[in-house]
Each structure stands twice: as C-alpha cells, then as structure tokens.
Amino acid sequence: MDQERLSHAKDVSNGDTENGQSMHTTKRRRKRNPLVWLASRAALCGAWIVRVLLYLLYGICGLILLLGRGILDMCRGLVVPLGKLKHALMQPVRIQMRNADRVQQNMRAARHKGKKHFAAALLKSAHTYLWGENGLMITIFHYVAPVASLAFLVGVVLYGAHLQYGLVVQYNGEEIGVIASEEEFDAAASEVHKRIADVELAEPLIYTPKFSLTIVNDTSDYVPTSVLADRMLSSSDAVLTKACGVFVDDAFVGAVASNQEVEFALSERLADFNAPAGATDVQYENAVTFRSGMYLEDSLLDTEEMIEKLTASERYRSQYTVQQGESVVQVAKKFSMAESELRELNPDLEEGECQAGDRLTVIKTNSFLPIQYTERMTLTSFIDFDSIEVNTSSVNKGDTQILVPGVKGEKSNVVDIVYVDGAEASRKVIRSEVLSEPVTEQVGIGTYTAQPMSKNTVLRGSGQFSWPVDGGYISDPFISDRNHKGLDIAAPAGTEIYAADAGTVTYAGWNAGGYGYLVMVDHGNGYVTVYGHCSMIYVSEGQEVSRGQRMAAVGSTGRSTGNHLHFEVRYNGMYCDPTGFLRVNAD
C-alpha cells in the first residue's frame, strides 16, 4: 500500500516535471519566434481600430437617424395643413360629383314619367348643375377669377414699366413742348437769361411754368433745350428775330444775322498774329461759340460792329516788381517788349541790370479776346541749399562760424510757358535734370570754453587761434625786454593745454634747447603753433588733433622759472605775436 502511494507520488512528480518542462519549452519557443508576437499585437491593434470604426459608424448612423426623425416629425406637422388644403381644393370637386349623381338620379326618375317630364327634368337639372348655388360655372369662376386678376395685375405692371413718361410744359398759357425732366426747363430758362442779359425786359420775359405728366411714345417727341428756349421767347410779347448768338465762355455777347463773316474775321486775326518762332497752340484764351435761335431785336448787332467788339484791344502802362534772378532781357520778354523799349520806359536802368524788388514800368495789352500761345524753353534754375548747425570746439562758446559754406545747386528745366496777350500767364515744368547738387551749409556753434582766468584779460585778435590753456594769465608778452619769441601763460602745474586749432602733431617729446617737454602742431596753411615747458604730453607725432583737443599739461620743464605755457605762433618759419590771433573777452 505504501509502495503504491510512493509510486503514485512519483508518477505525479514525474508528471509535474514534464508539465514544467513543457511550459519552459513554450516560453522558449515564444522567445525564439518574435514574428508570432508581433502578429498577435498587430491583430489586437487591428481589432481595436475596427472597434473604433464601428463605434464611429454607429454614431454616424445615429445622427442620420436623428435627422431623419426630425424631417419625419416636420413632415408629420405638415400633414394636417396639407390635408386641410387638399380638402379645401377637393371639396368643390366632391360637390360637383354629388351634383352629377343627383342629376343622374333625377333623370332616371323622370324617364319613367314620360318624355315630357324627362325633357323638363333635363333642362332643370342642367341649369342647376351649371348655374346653381354650387354649380360648375360658379365653381370654375371661383378658381379662375383670382388667377386672372393676378395675371392682369402683372400685365399692367409690365406694361407700365416699359412706358416712357414726359412733362408737358405750359408756359405763359401755351403748351410749348414735352421735356424729360424739370432740369431741362431750368437749362432752357438759363439759355433765355443769357440771350436777354443786356436787355431791361429780362425779368418780365421769364414766367412760371406748369408741368403735367404724359406718356411719350418716342424719344424724338422730347423738345431740345435750344428749341424750348426759342418757344419760351416766342411766347412773350417781345419783338424777336431769328439770328445767331455769339457766346464767349458761355456768356452772351450779342446776336448777328450770320456768323460766317465773324468766324472768318476771328480766324484771320489768329493767322495774322505774330507769334515767336517755335510757339505752339496759338488760340484764343476764351472759347467762342455760335448758337442759332430766336433773339431779341435789341440784342442784334451788324457784322462789322460785332467783329470790332470781339477784336478790340488796348495797350496801357503798368508796374511790375522784378523777381529774384530776373534780368532786363527776361522782364522784357515776359511782356513781349523790346529791351530798348523797356529801358526807354525806365531811364534809371540805363545800361545796368535790374535787381529783385525793383519796380519797373511795362506795357500790357488788354484784349476782349486775348490770344494765347505756348513756348517751350530750357531754363536753368538754382536749388537752394540747406543749413545745419554743428556744435564744435573749434569756435569759442557764444560765437558762431561758417564751417562749410553753402553752395546752391543747379538744374535744367524744360518748361512750357503760356503767354496771354504777349505777357507770361503761367508756366509748367515738363521735365527737370539736376546739373549739380547743392552743398549743405554748416554753421559751427562754439563749445570751446577755455578763457583766461580773469575777465580783465582782453585780446582783440582775429580769433584764428583759441586761448590754449584752461585759465591762466599772461605772465610775459611777446618780445618783451628779452626778445621773447612767444607768449607766456602762467597756470598751476597740471592745468590742461589745448590745441589752438586743428592740425597735425609734428613733434611731441623732450627738447634739449630749453623748451623742455614740447609739442608742435602744423596747421597746414603755413602756420605752426608751439607749446613748451609741459609737465606731461598726451599726444604723439603724426596724430591729427582738432581745435580744443587736450594735448599736454602745464609744467616748468627746461629752462623755466615757474609753471607756465610758452605759446608760439610761427608763419612760414617767422615768429608772430600770438595776441594778434587770439580773441578773448572782446565784444
């Protein structure tokens, strides 16, 4: 018994061992086949994607179903009104069907009573069916009448839209024509005013019109403005005549029997006009027009009188102010005068030139119809320069100095000059070309503050050089009693020394000739300044320095008995008195 249990236990143990080995084998196989694992994962992802798509499709179907239900509910809501509409439309049909059945029953009943009763019943039934209370004709009328009325209304509107309307003008009790709008009458009234502008009867000839609407079959029925003006004048009591009106810039001048001679005279005057060579667009300044129509006899002029009026002109003296840059020749040309004529009218000119602002006597022409022409010229004009201020230590504080002179530029202009009656009226620049650019003027505003220690030290030199020490006083003048070749300026040791003007440092170092530490500056114009006995030097040879730039410090090096600056001015090697170039505390 115990052996069997042991044997069974052994078998079980062996079985577990085999199962364990099997599981280990499966795991090993899985590890050895990654493709199977990837395939399973792909299948799971695919299943998840399909599931998402199914949910999405389910949602779309639900939305469609919801919309369908909404449409169905809306249709259901229309069922009742549609049913009522159908009932209303079909009710007359049902009535007529019942009437037809009733007629048939009456006819069957009358047939058994004899032919006489049948004929009478037939007539009565037919009348009742067609013209009774709910007869067929009455029903048809109820349907047809609204449709016919609507069609008639549409037809009337369409017909009226294509009609043309006009205003019948009643003037002084007479119908004088049809116009499109009241503005045309206003234009005709304005034309009448122009024709009678120089006649005292102007106001009594203008009456208040009356307008009434009418249908116009053709646009040719409208009356033109000129014809309407003729009819307005004709309806008055004034004495009229058919003539040709002359207008200058739309202003009435007078009327003539014929305009041919007047036009010829004006054209001949233009042809005889002595325009300068190269002049173009020779024409009258004002527009001259001729309009045929009815005019007052009082405004009628004979041809010669009209020609004389239009071509009249006079010459008279006037004063002219000369503009900047104008010469005698230019002024004479401006008024189509000879230079000799202009000088004769202005004896003070003699052979000289005029100046801007001079008042000259010139000859002007005043014509009823001025003649104008255009002359193209190439002129040179100046371009003004700008001016700017620049702070500079090269100028003492409180003083100004032009550092860079301004220079005007020049440009060439192609100009069309319009002359009226020989005098320049206007000019227009066609194109320009800059010949030279202007140079900007630079005005130096002084910032240099070095001055003698005392206001009592006054030097009235040229100011070419500035005081070279921040303070100090003159302790020994030029020459003095020992042939002193410079100017000694005493100041405490270490006081700053400045360049008296811009230049190039030609020497900076120790001088064995008694100057001690020395700086020399060549200013490039023959002048050299010298700074001796310095305690320290801050510049080097070859360095460019500006006016007022710090170069050294006051000291007492070399042959010196105290702290001071020995300052010299040399011109081409010759010693000059520095005070002749310094200007300090001077008015």
How far, in whole angstroms, is CA 574 from its chain's centroid? 67
For residues 81 and 456, what is the distance between their CA atoms, to the nearest angstrom? 119
Sequence-ordered list of residues with C-beta below 8 angstroms from that of 365, at least 6 positions apart, any chain: 313, 314, 315, 336, 421, 422, 423
Highest-confidence range of 20-24, 363-367, 427-431, by mean pLDDT? Answer: 427-431
Q: 77-83 — which CB contacts under 8 Å span 24+ positions?
A: none
Which CATH superfamily does the domain covering 376-443 fall into? Resuscitation-promoting factor rpfb. (2.20.230.10)
User: Are β-strands 387-396 and 441-448 bridged in parallel, bridged antiparallel, or unpaired?
Assistant: parallel
Range 12-23 burial, b when 16+ CB lie within 10 A, else e: eeeeeeeeeeee
pLDDT of 74 reads 77
Over residues 7-64, the pLDDT tens digits come to 444 443 444 434 444 444 444 444 546 766 666 666 667 667 767 777 787 778 778 8
Q: Which fold has domain 313-367?
A: Membrane-bound Lytic Murein Transglycosylase D; Chain A (3.10.350)
For residues 563 and 425, what is the distance between their CA atoms, to the nearest angstrom? 77
What DSSP assignment string belongs to 481-494? GGTB-SEEEE--TT
Q: Name which of 104-108, 337-341, 428-432, 507-511 the model is least confident about.
A: 104-108
| Residue 165: band (very low, low, confident or very high) from pLDDT cuts 50, 70, 90 | confident
- Asked if residue 564 has pLDDT above 90, the reply is yes
Amino acid identity, position 513: G
Task: Answer with the residue of higher pLDDT: 162 or 289.
Answer: 289
| Helix, strand and coil in the chain, % to nearest 5 | 40, 35, 25
Residue 163's Cβ-count burial label (10 Å; 0-12, 13-18, 19+) is exposed
Sequence-ordered list of residues with C-beta below 8 angstroms from that of 136, at least 6 positions apart, any chain: 96, 99, 129, 130
User: Are β-strands 400-404 and 409-420 bridged in parallel, bridged antiparallel, or unpaired?
Assistant: unpaired
Q: Please name which of 326, 419, 339 lies closest in space to residue 372, comparing C-alpha atoms.
A: 419
pLDDT of 87 reads 67
- pLDDT (mean) for 442-465: 89
Instruction: Write down the CATH number for the domain with range 455-584.
Output: 2.70.70.10
- CA distances to 235, 289, 474 from 302, rounded to whole Å, are 26, 17, 101
- Asked if residue 571 has pLDDT above 80, the reply is yes
Highest-confidence range of 39-48, 195-204, 528-537, by mean pLDDT? Answer: 528-537
Over residues 200-235, the pLDDT tens digits come to 544 455 667 777 777 777 666 788 888 887 877 777
Mean pLDDT, all residues of the chain: 80
Residues 289, 247: contact at Cβ < 8 Å?
Answer: yes
Q: Please name which of 469, 437, 438, 471 lies closest in space to residue 453, comparing C-alpha atoms.
A: 471
pLDDT of 43 reads 64
For residues 231 and 293, what is the distance between their CA atoms, to the nearest angstrom? 10
For residues 125 and 128, what is the distance between their CA atoms, to the nearest angstrom? 5
What percent of the chain is predicted at pLDDT more than 90?
Answer: 32
pLDDT of 362 reads 87
Over residues 341-350, the pLDDT tens digits come to 888 888 888 7
Task: Answer with the residue of higher pLDDT: 115 or 478.
Answer: 478
For residues 576 and 460, what is the distance between their CA atoms, to the nearest angstrom? 15
For residues 194 and 233, what is the distance between their CA atoms, to the nearest angstrom? 12
Task: Please count the other Cβ atoms lying within 10 Å of the Cβ belonging to residue 248.
Answer: 16
Task: Answer with the residue of higher pLDDT: 2 or 208.
Answer: 208
pLDDT of 109 reads 67
- pLDDT (mean) for 385-396: 85
Residues 532, 559: contact at Cβ < 8 Å?
Answer: no
Number of continuous H segments (helices) and E segments (strands) in the chain: 10, 27
Task: Answer with the residue of higher pLDDT: 93 or 333.
Answer: 333
Q: Which two tokens stand for residue 477?
A: 């003048």
For residues 547 and 502, what is the distance between their CA atoms, to the nearest angstrom? 5
pLDDT of 540 reads 96
Sequence-ordered list of residues with C-beta below 8 angstroms from that of 435, at least 6 positions apart, any chain: 380, 409, 410, 411, 412
- pLDDT (mean) for 248-269: 91
- Asked if residue 2 has pLDDT above 60, the reply is no
pLDDT of 219 reads 64
What DSSP assignment string belongs to 160-210? HHT-EEEEEEEETTEEEEEESSHHHHHHHHHHHHHHTTTSTTTGGG----E
Q: Which two tokens stand for residue 587?
A: 């008015």
For residues 169 and 214, what is the distance between their CA atoms, to the nearest angstrom? 10
Task: Please count the other Cβ atoms lying within 10 Å of the Cβ belonging to residue 427.
Answer: 15
Over residues 458-513, the pLDDT tens digits come to 999 998 999 999 999 999 999 876 778 999 999 999 999 999 999 999 999 999 98
Residues 325, 382: contact at Cβ < 8 Å?
Answer: yes
Over residues 54-100, the pLDDT tens digits come to 778 777 877 888 887 778 777 777 777 777 766 666 666 666 666 66
Sequence-ordered list of residues with C-beta below 8 angstroms from that of 429, at least 6 positions apart, any chain: 413, 414, 415
